[in-house]
Structure 1
Amino acid sequence: MHFKISAFPSLFALFAVSSIASPLEVRKTLDVWSPKITSPTAGTVWVTGSTVNVTWDTSDAPKQISNGAAVMLRDDSGPVPPENPYLKESRSFDLRDGWVTVEVPNVPPADNYVLVLFGDSGNWSEQFEITEDATST
């Protein structure tokens, strides 16, 4: 009985060391990629209700991308209405595609809108303009 009690701390220590070492060995390098948004750019004008393409450069894309992608519309003060500022939700497209189609939401006309492309890192487009659909007034 004395042997079993004194062996327990040694077995516990061996288990603790092996369980700590294992995650360190299998930990993978995280990829961080911040693709340059190529559209919209300064001078771009979107019309509410229209369908447009958001594009970015994929020439230096890693083979594996850890996170899903999302596109968010913002202005200088932060997210814009509607309540959900995401034009494309996370994991609804692949960053390696280099483009995604979005519908321009019904937002107040302004020339200070930007897109944020999320994935492994958030990038911002240049400021661009959104105008009202002339047929809806």
Structure 2
Amino acid sequence: MIMTPFTTLFITFMSLFALVASLPLSARLQARDVFVPPVLYPHAGTVWYVGQYHNVTWETKDAPVNITNSKGMIYLRNNGLIEMNEELASGFNILDGRVEVHVPNVPAGNNYSIVLFGDSGNYSPIFTILA
């Protein structure tokens, strides 16, 4: 018997459907929510100095029960662009509400902000880093 492309596609689709249908109902229906906590510190007007340590803080009181991704990362944003080579912290629980970071050696005076990643990215207000 020669299979047409339609027949192959149909059999593949039905196999995947059977696989998904065989999962327990709780695995198929478990709701996940995106959590976008507002960054509280640094705030507008904050000045950091290269080499210092600071606690980046964010609000956690409205966190949903089922968060899609609870592992956080913090990056530095410079003049609107995320500096992917300036990871300040990673691997922490997004529900902790704070994490200590070391201020990297970056050009002074630019428009910096913090990017908090977990479920999604959230930016702090613009602040200053000085040498």
TM-score by length of structure 2 reads: 0.78
The structure-2 alpha-carbon separation of the partners of 1:30 and 1:46, relative to structure 1 and needing over 3 Å to count, comes to: same
How do residues 1-137 of structure 1 correspond to structure 2 at under 5 angstroms?
16=15, 18-23=18-23, 25=25, 26-27=27-28, 28-67=30-69, 68-80=71-83, 84-89=85-90, 92-132=91-131
Count of aligned residue pairs for this structure pair = 115
Distance 1:78 1:33 in 2: 22
Distance 1:101 1:33 in 2: 21
Is contact 1:34–1:121 with CA below 8 Å preserved after alignment?
Answer: yes
Q: Mind listing any 5+ residue stretches in structure 1 that lack a counterpart?
A: 1-11, 133-137
Q: Mind listing any 5+ residue stretches in structure 2 that lack a counterpart?
A: 1-10
Q: Percent identity?
A: 43
Distance 1:24 1:73 in 2: 42
The structure-2 alpha-carbon separation of the partners of 1:77 and 1:62, relative to structure 1 and needing over 3 Å to count, comes to: closer
Cα deviation, 1:18-45, whole Å, max 9, x if unaligned, reads 4231348322222101001000010000
**Secondary structure of 1:93 counterpart:** strand
Is contact 1:54–1:100 with CA below 8 Å preserved after alignment?
Answer: yes
